[in-house]
A and B are shown apart, each in its own frame.
Chain A
Amino acid sequence: MSRRHRNRRRPGLVARRTLQLGVWFTLCGASPLHGQLNTSDYYVYVAAESEDEVAIIRYGPQGATLVDNVAVGLFPTEIDGAHGIAVTPDGTRWVVSIAHGLPYGQVQVYEANTNRKVGAVDAGLFPATMQATEGDLLFVANFNLHGDPVPSTISVIDLGSLVEIAQITTCAMPHGSRLNASATRHYSACMMDEQIVEIDARTLLVNRRLFVRPGHETALPEDLTDAVASEGPSPDGSRCGPTWAQVSPDEKRLYVACNKNREVLEIDLDRWAVTRRFPTGAGPYNLEVSPDGRLLVVTFKGEQATGIFDLQSGDLRATVENTRRLPHGVVISPDSRFAFVSVEGVGGEPGTVDVIDLVKAARVASVELGKQAGGIGFWKQEAAGSI
């Protein structure tokens, strides 16, 4: 299907976007970055799940470039599913989760500057999204996407010794493994169990659970792994289908992508309750809050677009069309200037990283990589041309 055909099928999108961009540019007059030239090089890692590769992408004044491709996985003649990416906070290592194993998936650790493999450790079934702490702990959501919908776990792996020190049972299909800024709380979304789980990163115990079925949001007992069975079927069939959870930089709010309900929930972490709802495009999937706390960027997997929300007003400021179908992950540069969006594509299409200028609210570059680009992690920002 050509891009022209796709746009024709969604006539409201272009007009809506034009209007949004107008509002956006008006508001951006106050942005400290408005009008500034980009003088930095930004580097991201992207996992290509149907290629078993990790791409290193650089974006700078000269545009976006595929710097390197690193073969990962277990078997060269099988697609093992490189899914999630995490970069250690000190930037010295990157970690990729390999979804399929024998049968457990694996976490593989690489040196950032050399791309030399440091080691690997088994995790659970279909390890997916991950985040590492400054203390070298890696929290891995064992998605168990393809098994029976039974409670799965969050693996906690000591990256120093490459030892899995805990598996914390949370719910069916945990995804969106993210820590708060001080790394004292971990959050994950339970796609099949309609809940968000908070883990105390110190005790490695489940702290709180929140049921997020639309209209029925409520706190759950901390030991309840099967919320849907407990709460019963949805009377109107509505589902949140949470796929991602991300804490605001000030650690006061949590944002949850309701993939099945075209909305993002804002949860007050003190009250442990939903305080705002942001209507989105189809299939909100991953999301990221800008480091300055002003913007929320959400991939709309169901409509080949990425949304940019103003967190103060809660408004959708812009919708940026992605290069290909199935936008997946998003990371934002530390200066809150650019969002990097991985786009899966379909079949033999290459994966893509779209670079979105958050000041212009526009896609400013794209670069192709291996098939089914998914997990994405920000590595570093440095002066352009640095070696």
Chain B
Amino acid sequence: MSRFKLLLSGVAVIIGLSLPTALAAQEADAGFTVEVEPASLSLNPGDEVALKATVRDGAGSEVERTVVFFGLQPDAFQIASGIAVDRNTGNVKAHDGGRFRVFAVLIDEAGGFGMNSPRAEVPITVAYPAVSRLEMQGVGDDLFVGDVVRPRVVAWADNGAERKDIKPQLSSSDDAVLGPDMFGRYVARTPGRAVLAAEAEGISIRHQVQVYANPVRKLELSADADAARTGDVVRFEVTARDADERLVVGAPIRFSVQHEPVDTVVAGAASAEVDEAGRFVAEVPGVYTVFATSGAAAASASVRIEQRDVAQEIAVLGMGQVSHVHTSDLWVWEGADGRDYAVTGTWGGEGVAYFWDVTDPASIAKIDSIQVDARTVNDVKISEDGRIGVISREGASTRRNGLVILDVSDPSNVSILSEYDDDLTGGVHNVFIYDRHIYAVNNGQRYDIINIGDPTQPRRVGRFELDNPGHAVHDVWVVDGIAYSSNWSDGVVMVDVGAGVAGGSVSNPVQIASYKHPTLRNHAAFPFWSQSTDRFYVVAGDEIFPGGTGDDRTPVRTAGYIHFIDFTDLENPVEVARYQVPNAGSHNFWVEGDKLYIAFYNGGLRVVDVSGELKGDLYRQGREIAHYLSFDPEGYIPNAPMTWGPQPHKGNIFFSDWNSGLWAVRLEPREGLVP
């Protein structure tokens, strides 16, 4: 549809008149014209101008008629966000820079207008705040021949904001020394001096770069291992020397890799990568040779990669079947009596949570249930001492959802201690208990921190909420005084709620770090210190449904994957690895030791080896230890695995399945070599 048609389709319907009536009324206005003064406007932010509309009849005489004004963006049918237009008076107030249009449209005798209504268009330009300085990013002062850089010039306005509408053109004083290639990068070609320059709105920047001859005449390349497994990160170290055997620091080094696959790998895909720091990881076995080059100097080193070989069998121990309603989350704990218990929620049902004795996973027994005024008990959590439980409510008949606090000291006789819905009526989707406080996700917008020192008298002591427009939160998990919230497009946010890292407390939560992962679908997060390295990771999972909603009795399609974010440097988190299962999507997960347990919805339970440094795609590297698809012919949707959440407990793995209830499985020991 053309822009014009789009505009008309939009404005023609502003008045709720029937079309025939409107058309007849508009035809009566044939020959009328609308004139607006001024005919165009150039404004600065903050300026305010009243447009004056004059209506003339077919004879050119001025007539008293009503005109309404609309502000639109220049290139689409979209409300002009940079200006405010009073529809009645034609008063225009400029807020932000940009080009806009205001339409003045004649209201017909029937009170409406449409495609044929006389109108006038007023182009309006609102000046951006002036550029005060330019900044050159992405290039240093000294380069060696062979260096490739990607300079970027940023324009800053005098109000401190970036002028993203400006893309200053960059030029080099000497392309032979330092000039652009066809990919927009700048290549240091010959020794010499070059000046990179840019200009915008009379402000210029010049950045001098000295290009030196590459002194490297010799490279030495070594790896920190001769042999490794798929998924292991091997570090290649390069030493560069000049003609006098002196060390050269900062010389441009490029890496590449060649793969000699094992005989069983035929027509394989890309099988390994080595990054600019010489960190190498392979997905398939074989002998890999890594090449380092700098100018004319080159070196290589090889490493043999074996299959990771971490697979184990999974044995099903038992099941607590729930087939009349969907099952949601679970929690497993050791009770005050030393026995082991689990609680599971229900989804889209009658507001019930089930309690199970799982001491013998082969004989899981339902021992109690609790029903609250809700349709969904999405989340269930138990306190560290195993005595207090909290369940979330959604779909309360009173629309006052909130949460319910339980006495679970005797899981066979669970009772309600209190209900708490103060300002939590929008539905609590997820909860967490940490150190006598409940962290409750409130209406998907923030999380509230509720003291349960006296669980019969819960009281809010704090809350945390992002402040950017359109923020949302889905889950929160607390470890060692730091809350890790999952915030959809805002990614993972770490907040000090008592760790002492940034002076935060439950009543004064202080954000300390965050990371937005590229899929913008952060649904859950779980932190862990790597047992075998000294790196601190946060596992962040997507939740994506590519097929949208569907019939409640039809299996669901899912997508999305697990992101591994290295938060060792809190100020510079880096996403280093992923675990992505084809045709399935991540949901909840748990890390214990060097193992990651993931509920992968229709992809079932997944157990992944996360030992050592992480890099690349862990699924393709063969780091998956086991997976189990929870088929249940008697499930709510029969034979449709939909794993919701896992939890390792005392050597066993418990998980809930949306369609079938509670499961207990175990990783079978790896069998020894057969002589």
Contacts and interface: CB of A to CB of B under 8 A. Distances in A.
A134 interface: yes
A325 B397 contact: yes
A12 interface: no
Given A202-B107, A347-B351, A326 B16 contact: no
A76 B545 contact: yes
A184 B548 CA distance: 37
B375 A348 contact: yes
Contact of A344 (B10, B397, B444): B397
A135 B350 contact: no
Contact of B348 (A72, A204, A371): A371
Interface string B424-461: 01110100000000000001110000000000000000
B154 to A, nearest CB: 30
B421 to A, nearest CB: 10
A72 B376 contact: no
B550 A179 contact: no
Interface in B89-138: 107, 111-112
A74 interface: yes
Nearest to B86: A205
B406 to A, nearest CB: 18
Interface stretch (A39-47, A159-167, A213-221, A255-263): A159-167
B376 A179 contact: no
Interface string A182-217: 111000000000000000011111000000000000
Contact of A202 (B111, B376, B426): B111
Interface residues of B, number: 60
Interface in A145-169: 145-148, 158-161, 163-166
B13 A135 contact: yes
B429 A205 contact: no
A136 B19 CA distance: 10
A347 B374 CA distance: 5
A52 B549 contact: yes
Interface in A66-118: 71-79, 100-104
A160 B10 contact: yes
A347 B375 contact: yes
A163 B373 contact: no
Tell me which of B14, B19, B325, B489 has the highest count of chain A C-beta atoms within 10 A of its own C-beta: B14
Interface in A310-331: 325-326
A306 interface: no
Given A160-B9, A347-B371, A201 B16 contact: yes
A203 to B, nearest CB: 5
Contact of B87 (A160, A179, A203, A346): A203
A202 B107 CA distance: 9
A103 B470 CA distance: 6
A50 interface: yes
Contacts of B549: 52, 71-76
A225 interface: no
B488 interface: yes
A352 interface: no
A115 to B, nearest CB: 12
Contacts of B545: 75-77
A294 to B, nearest CB: 25
A345 B375 CA distance: 11
A76 B545 CA distance: 8
Contacts of B12: 135
B550 A135 contact: no
A137 B13 contact: yes
A248 interface: no
A147 B426 CA distance: 7
Contacts of A134: 16-19
Contacts of B443: 100, 103, 146-147
A347 B372 CA distance: 8
A73 B548 CA distance: 8
B176 interface: no
The size class of the interface chain A forms with chain B is 35 or more
Nearest to A133: B16
Contacts of A145: 399, 425-426
A205 B395 CA distance: 35
Q: What's the dominant secondary structure at chain B's contact region?
A: loop
A177 interface: no
B589 interface: no
A154 to B, nearest CB: 14
Contacts of B15: 133, 135, 183-184, 201-202
Contact of A79 (B112, B325, B375): B375
B556 A77 contact: yes
A126 B9 CA distance: 27
Nearest to B22: A135
A163 B325 CA distance: 38
Interface string A2-36: 00000000000000000000000000000000000
A127 B351 CA distance: 25
B122 to A, nearest CB: 18
Interface string B489-527: 100000000000000000000000000000000000000
B403 to A, nearest CB: 14
A246 interface: no
B14 A202 contact: yes
B68 interface: yes
A249 to B, nearest CB: 16
Contacts of B375: 50, 79, 347-348, 371-372
B347 A77 contact: yes
B413 to A, nearest CB: 22
B374 to A, nearest CB: 7
A266 interface: no
A348 B351 contact: yes
A51 interface: yes
A86 to B, nearest CB: 13
B482 interface: no
Contact of B88 (A53, A77, A184, A203): A203
A53 B348 CA distance: 12
B77 interface: yes
A348 B13 contact: no
A91 to B, nearest CB: 14
A19 to B, nearest CB: 31
Given A76-B549, A79-B394, A161 B87 contact: no
A165 B444 contact: no
B227 interface: no
Contacts of B550: 71, 76
Contacts of B349: 348
B348 A205 contact: no
A219 to B, nearest CB: 20
Contacts of B376: 50, 79
A52 to B, nearest CB: 6
Interface in A352-377: 371-372
Interface in B396-437: 397, 399, 401, 423, 425-427, 429
Contacts of B399: 145
A165 B79 contact: yes
A201 B17 CA distance: 10
A158 B350 contact: no
B614 interface: no
Contacts of B350: 347-348
B77 A163 contact: yes
Nearest to A371: B375
Interface string B359-378: 00000000000010111100
The 3 closest A-B pairs by CB, nearest first: A146-B426, A133-B16, A183-B16
7 contacts: A101-B444, A102-B489, A133-B17, A137-B16, A165-B79, A183-B15, A204-B87
Interface of B: 6, 9-10, 12-19, 22, 68, 77-79, 87-88, 107, 111-112, 325, 347-351, 371, 373-376, 394-395, 397, 399, 401, 423, 425-427, 429, 443-445, 470-472, 488-489, 543, 545, 548-552, 556, 642, 658
